[in-house]
Amino acid sequence: MNGRHGDTDVTGIVHEARGGMYVVRDACDRDWLCRTFRGTRTENGDETLVAVGDRVVVRPTDGDAQEEGVIVQVRERSSTLERKRDRRRNRSGEVTQVIASNIDQLVIVASAGEPPLNRRLIDRYLVFSEYAGLPALIVVNKVDLVEEGDLEKELEPYARNGYRTCIVSAESGAGMDQLRSLLSGKISAFSGHSGVGKSTLINRLIGEDRLVTAELSGNSRGVHTTTNAVMLAVPGDGYVIDTPGIREFNLSGITRENLRFWFPEFLEPMRECAYSSCTHTVEPRCGVRQAVEDGRVDAGRYESYCAIFETLEE
Ligand X SMILES: Nc1nc2c(ncn2[C@@H]2O[C@H](COP(=O)(O)OP(=O)(O)OP(=O)(O)O)[C@@H](O)[C@H]2O)c(=O)[nH]1
- Round to whole Å and give the CA distance between 40 and 35: 9
Out of 9, 31, 148, 215, the residue judged to bind ligand X by CB under 6 A = 215
- Round to whole Å and give the CA distance between 148 and 43: 46
Under the criterion CB under 6 A, does residue 140 sit at the interface with ligand X?
A: no
Site for ligand X in 180-209 (CB under 6 A): 194-200
Q: How many CA atoms lie within 13 A of 67 on its CB side?
A: 20
Burial class (CB in 10 A: 0-12, 13-18, 19+), 130: middle
Instruction: List binding-site positions for GTP.
Output: 141-144, 192-200
Under the criterion CB under 6 A, does residue 245 sit at the interface with ligand X?
A: yes
Out of 97, 141, 165, 188, the residue judged to bind ligand X by CB under 6 A = 141
- Taking the complex as a whole, the smallest distance from the CB of residue 209 to Mg ion amounts, in Å, to 12
Q: Tell me, by CB under 6 A, how many residues bind ligand X.
A: 22
- Taking the complex as a whole, the smallest distance from the CB of residue 225 to ligand X amounts, in Å, to 4
Instruction: List binding-site positions for Zn(2+).
Output: 273, 278, 280, 286
Under the criterion CB under 6 A, does residue 101 sit at the interface with ligand X?
A: no
Cβ proximity to Mg ion: between 15 and 198 the closer is: 198
Contacted by 288, from Mg ion, Zn ion, ligand X, none: CB < 5 to 8 Å by type: Zn ion
For the chain, list the strands marked E by DSSP. 10-18, 21-26, 31-35, 41-42, 55-60, 68-74, 80-84, 96-101, 105-111, 136-141, 164-167, 187-191, 230-233, 239-242
Out of 109, 110, 273, 291, the residue judged to bind Zn ion by CB under 5 A = 273
